[in-house]
């Protein structure tokens, strides 16, 4: 039952993360277009700057839970990784309770007021003459924090399972670091060489 809950939360984080990952495509095309018209045609747009921070901001807010579900956030783990899984889980659970949840819940609370006020007045950008709406981005703050809090619940449950079993439950994987793929390929090639030599 607990594993199904963790899996369901991971799947939700994956779906939202993948949906908002398309922002990078829009951001790339918009930026390339702006560079072309600015430097080749000498006719810069009035919307490119606003579009870039809207796309990047949306992706940033909504990909946090996805990154957490893949254990992809930056950490200084030069000592942590040497500990047994149970010790890692105890430390992580403590940090989630003391630091993660107070920060994320404060972001949800403050972000809701901030986002709702932007929505209420239909806030537009003050950085461009065309007044591009930015209230949508500000309204993503509490939703992104809510998804992060939900994914935090899955991580807390992972910690509890690891404390009990002294091994981390599996995570979903859909994108792998190139370095990890190359290490696995090298290890497989070495194993095949040693197997063939016998």
Sign of the Cα pseudo-torsion (9, 77, 86, 179, in order): positive
Token digits of residue 99 = 């630091």
Contact between 156 and 93 (Cβ < 8 Å): yes
Q: What number of helices (H) and strands (E) belong to the chain?
A: 7, 0
Structure tokens at 8: 């369901």
Q: Which residues form the domain of 14? A: 2-197
In 3D space, the residue among 193, 31, 62, 58 whose CA is nearest the CA of residue 133 turns out to be 58
Q: pLDDT tens digits for the chain (198 residues)?
A: 888 899 999 999 999 998 998 888 988 998 899 899 999 898 888 788 888 888 888 888 889 999 899 887 777 777 878 889 999 999 999 999 999 999 999 999 999 998 999 999 998 888 777 788 888 888 999 999 999 999 999 999 999 999 999 998 888 777 666 777 788 888 888 888 887 665
pTM value is: 0.79
How many domains does one find in the chain? 1
Answer whether 148's CB lies under 8 Å from 68's CB: yes
């Amino acid at each position: 039952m607990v594993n199904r809950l963790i899996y369901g939360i991971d799947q939700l984080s994956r779906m939202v993360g993948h949906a908002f990952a398309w922002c990078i495509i829009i951001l790339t095309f918009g930026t390339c277009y702006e560079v072309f018209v600015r430097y080749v045609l000498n006719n810069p747009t009035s919307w490119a700057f606003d579009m870039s921070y809207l796309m990047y901001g949306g992706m940033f807010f909504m990909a946090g839970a996805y990154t957490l579900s893949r254990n992809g956030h930056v950490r200084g783990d030069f000592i942590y990784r040497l500990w047994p899984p149970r010790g890692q889980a105890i430390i992580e659970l403590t940090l989630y309770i003391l630091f993660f949840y107070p920060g994320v819940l404060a972001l949800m609370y403050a972000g809701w007021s901030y986002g709702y006020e932007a929505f209420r007045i239909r806030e537009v950008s003050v950085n461009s003459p065309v007044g591009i709406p930015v209230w949508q981005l500000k309204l993503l703050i509490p939703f992104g924090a809510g998804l992060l809090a939900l994914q935090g619940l899955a991580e807390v449950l992972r910690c509890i399972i690891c404390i009990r079993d002294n091994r981390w439950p599996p995570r979903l994987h859909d994108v792998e670091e190139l370095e990890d793929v190359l290490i696995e390929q090298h290890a497989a090639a070495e194993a095949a060489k040693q197997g063939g030599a016998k």
